[in-house]
Amino acid sequence: MKKILLVDDSRTSLFMERMILQQGPYKLLTACDGQEGVERALAEHPDLILMDVIMPRMNGFEALRELRAQAATRETPVILVTTRGEPANVEEGYEAGCSDYLTKPIDPEELLAKVRSCLAA
Amino acid sequence: MDPRDVSLRLNRLERLLAGLPAEANALWDDLTAVKQHLAQRQVALQTAEQELLRCGEQLGEQQRRCAIAAGQLVAIRRLQSTLERDQMLLALEEVVASLVGCEELAVFESDGSESRLVHTVGIAAEALEAHGLAQDVARRAAVGDIWIDEKKGAVERDKPRLTACVPLEVDGRRVGTLALFRLLEHKAQLEAPDIELLDLLKVHVGVALVATRAGQAA
């Protein structure tokens, strides 16, 4: 069973992502900010990370750069899931090393397709 | 070669040739039957393909409805999960941002004929006054139904504008108003599922507002 780490300070977003993904063959873990997200990723070695961008303590871009700097998580696919859909933010996300980018409100079908694609790669 | 062998061979050949028309006819009949069977199978295949297409469309519609229902369930669960006014307003902020696609909102609470601003996100209270939005909200809210800005095409984004106005109700009684302003940049306009969710928020935010008011008073 693939392990997916959900990182978001919004309980609503975490709730929604869980509802969409819990029907699939995934074990779901959560973290409520970038710092906790990095710590859980290093401890749990998820197969995929869904990461919000605007978060306290450490934002998604910073967390992503930290994950890419660590050997254990350098290759872990990360999908940024955020309300920040401006081109500049999307570009920064890819420059920081994300595998894909998804804007909120989340389209469940799009999320599932991107999750499957990242896990299959 | 022995002439008797030649004669035997010729006779055999003659018999074979004599039987060819009948065999050809039989083959032709078989071919015709196969063609008819193939035509029937093609018709059945086309029917099955159309049925599959129809089922696919139905499945897509059901999946769409499930996604809408999931969002509504999440919204209700979040809003009803607390009696603390601050936490409820945070939940509302998350619901509107993550499920509708708007990070500028204002909540007004009504007490009889009086309405007062109790919370804003992404827009200052002063800006509501400066841009005449408070009056805009009051005017739209007075109608009593959900109001959605139907303006199509590119809209100005350099100043706040009212996108939706949702009356908040409990037992048919108006208890407040939820106003949404500019949508997220990548969201062109509110869609039917968003309006369904706002219709749900009409009651659930109303109930949450009253419930957390009691908590504040306690």
3-state SS record for chain B:
CCHHHHHHHHHHHHHHHHHHHHHHHHHHHHHHHHHHHHHHHHHHHHHHHHHHHHHHHHHHHHHHHHHHHHHHHHHHHHHCCCCCHHHHHHHHHHHHHHHHCECCEEEEEEECCEEEEEEEECCCHHHHHHCCHHHHHHHHHHHCCCEECCCCCCCCCCCCCCCEEEEEEECCEEEEEEEECCECCCCCCCCHHHHHHHHHHHHHHHHHHHHHHHHHHC
Of B66, B98, B185, the CB nearest to A104: B98
ipTM: 0.90
- The percentage of residues in chain B with a pLDDT greater than 70, rounded to a whole number, is 95
Using the 8-state DSSP alphabet, how is residue A9 labeled?
S
pLDDT averages per 10-residue partition of chain A, 121 residues: 96 95 94 97 97 95 96 96 90 93 94 95 80
A13 interaction partners in chain B (CB closer than 8 Å): 94, 98
Q: Are the C-beta atoms of B164 and B136 separated by less than 8 Å?
A: no
Structure confidence at residue B165 (pLDDT): 96
pTM for the full predicted model: 0.83
Q: Give A58-81 pLDDT, tens digit per residue.
A: 999 999 999 999 999 999 999 999
Cα separation of A62 and B136, whole Å?
A: 40
Helix (H) or strand (E) holding A8: none
Cβ of residue B190 closer than 8 Å to a chain A Cβ: no
Query: Can you tell me the mean pLDDT for B131-159?
Result: 80
With bands split at pLDDT 50, 70 and 90, how would you rate the model's confidence at B144? confident
Q: Give B12-23 pLDDT, tens digit per residue.
A: 988 888 888 888
Phi/psi for A69 (5° steps) reads -80, -15
Query: Can you tell me the mean pLDDT for B168-173?
Result: 92
Residues 24-53 of A with CB under 8 A from B: none
Residues 56-115 of B with CB under 8 A from A: 63, 66-67, 70-71, 73-75, 77-78, 91, 94-95, 97-101, 103
Query: Can you tell me the mean pLDDT for B113-136?
Result: 89
Q: Give B65-104 pLDDT, tens digit per residue.
A: 999 999 999 999 999 999 999 999 999 999 999 999 999 9
Q: Are the C-beta atoms of B138 and B113 separated by less than 8 Å?
A: no
Structure confidence at residue B153 (pLDDT): 54
C-alpha torsion sign, points B208, B214, B217, B218:
negative
In terms of pLDDT, which residue wins out, B156 or B54? B54
A19 interaction partners in chain B (CB closer than 8 Å): 70, 73-74
Q: Give B37-46 pLDDT, tens digit per residue.
A: 999 999 999 9
pLDDT tops 80 at residue B215: no
